[in-house]
Amino acid sequence: MAIYSLNHKPIGKSTQERPYTTGAHVNYITRNKALGRLDGARMPVERDGARDFFNDAEDGSRSNGRVADKLMLALPKELNPEQRAELVRGYAEEVTDGRAPWLAAHHDKGKDAQNPHCHLVFRDRDPNTGKRVFGTTDRGSTQRLRDKWQAHANRALERAGRPERIDARSLKAQGIDREPQVHEGPRNRAAAENGRRPVSRPRDVRNGPGARSPSRRVNYPALDRGRTRPEYNRARPTERDYWSDLDAHRQREELDGLRRLHLPPDGRREEPQRMPFKDRLNRRVPAPSSEKTPGEVPKSFLDRRKPPALPQSEPPQKGLPFRETPPKPKAERPPRDRIPNRHKSRWRDDDRER
Reported in sequence order, the residue ranges of the chain that DSSP labels E, i.e. its strands, are: 6-12, 37-41, 66-74, 102-107, 117-122, 203-206, 215-218
CA 13 to chain centre: 46
DSSP 182: P
121 phi/psi in degrees, rounded to 5: -120, 130
149: nearest Cα among 109, 185, 183, 117 = 117
Q: How far apart are CA 101 and CA 282, in angstroms?
A: 106
Contact 128, 98 (CB under 8 A): no
Q: How far apart are CA 116 and CA 88, in angstroms?
A: 12
Contact 123, 193 (CB under 8 A): no
Q: Sign (positive/negative) of CA torsion 82, 88, 91, 92?
A: negative
42: nearest Cα among 104, 84, 86 = 104
Contact 54, 82 (CB under 8 A): no
Q: How far apart are CA 289 and CA 301, in angstroms?
A: 13
Distances (CA, A) of 307 to 284, 310, 312: 20, 9, 15
Find all residues with CB under 8 Å of 145, minimum gap 6, and list them.
6, 8, 71, 95, 134, 136
257 phi/psi in degrees, rounded to 5: -65, -40
Give catalytic residue positions. Answer: 28
DSSP 91: H
The residue type found at 147 is: D
The residue type found at 284 is: R
DSSP element (H, E) containing 82: helix 81-96
